Every structure is written in C-alpha cells, then in structure tokens.
C-alpha cells in the first residue's frame, strides 16, 4: 500500500469524479457528491491493528463515526454507512495504476466500494459493495491528503 499513512483525506472516485461523503442530512448514509470543501467529504484513515497489518479504519472527519454497513451483512449490494459495527478496510493499489486504490471489506476482499449507477450529485445513490471487477474505474479511488 504505497504512500498512504494515517491522516485526513478526500477520497475521489476515479470513474465518476464523485467524492466520498457522509450525507449531511442524516449523518449516516455514505454517498458520492461533486467536490466541495464542507467537511462532510473528509475521512480520517487510521490503522486497525486488531484486524491485522494493512487493515484500516475509515472515519468521518466531521463526526468521527467509522465506515461500516448499517445492517452488518457483508454482501454484494450492501449500502455503506457510518452506523452499525465499524469494519476494517483493506486498501490496495491497482496493479496497473499505482495512484489508484481499491477499498475492500477486510476478510471479504472480493467486495469493494463502488458508485452505483456510475453517477454522483443531487439524489445520488448510496455507495455500495460490489464484486471486484478488474478494470472498473468506478471501483478505483484517489486519496487526496488534506
């Protein structure tokens, strides 16, 4: 995992340009939004040693709540939220593009964060887990240190 360290980041989807954001209305749903500087798009990356080396917690920079799944079920199509049991995340560089990362649920590495419908903005769908598909740029993310 090249270049990532603990700290605050904006996490930008390669395929859509959406920025990972905690929904400011309910402060639970995680969505893709156009980039703005309002704090809802800041994420704190910290190591999760209880899960093992190379596993991270991702927490909202605004509320401190950790990224997880609302119902706790690690399945394809599950919506990502800052509620329920926080999960450990495996963040791995893309083999072909080392400035891009996949964010996978720890212990279920085949399920990664994706932007459903491949759109962002007003009324954007909630970020969800999907099966890893090599070459899918909506499953790749840039981490911008803030």
Q: What is the pLDDT of residue 1?
A: 43
Other Cβ atoms less than 10 A from the Cβ of 146: the count is 13
CA distance 131 to 129: 7
Give the model confidence (pLDDT) of 115-132 as tens digits.
887 777 666 678 999 999
Average pLDDT for runs of 10 along the chain of length 146: 83 93 91 85 94 91 91 86 88 88 87 84 78 92 94
């Amino acid at each position: 995992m090249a270049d990532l360290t603990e700290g605050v980041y904006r996490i930008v989807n390669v395929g859509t340009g959406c920025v990972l954001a905690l929904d400011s209305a309910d402060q639970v749903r995680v969505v893709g939004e156009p980039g703005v500087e309002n704090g809802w798009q800041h994420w704190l990356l910290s190591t999760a040693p209880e899960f093992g080396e190379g596993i991270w917690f991702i927490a909202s920079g605004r509320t401190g709540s950790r990224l997880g799944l609302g119902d706790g079920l690690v399945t394809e199509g599950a919506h990502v939220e800052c509620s329920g049991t926080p999960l450990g995340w495996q963040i791995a560089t893309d083999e072909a593009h080392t400035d891009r990362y996949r964010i996978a649920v720890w212990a279920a590495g085949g399920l990664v964060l994706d932007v459903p419908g491949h759109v962002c903005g007003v009324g954007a769908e909630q970020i969800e887990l999907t099966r890893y598909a090599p070459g899918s740029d909506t499953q790749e993310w840039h981490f911008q240190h803030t």
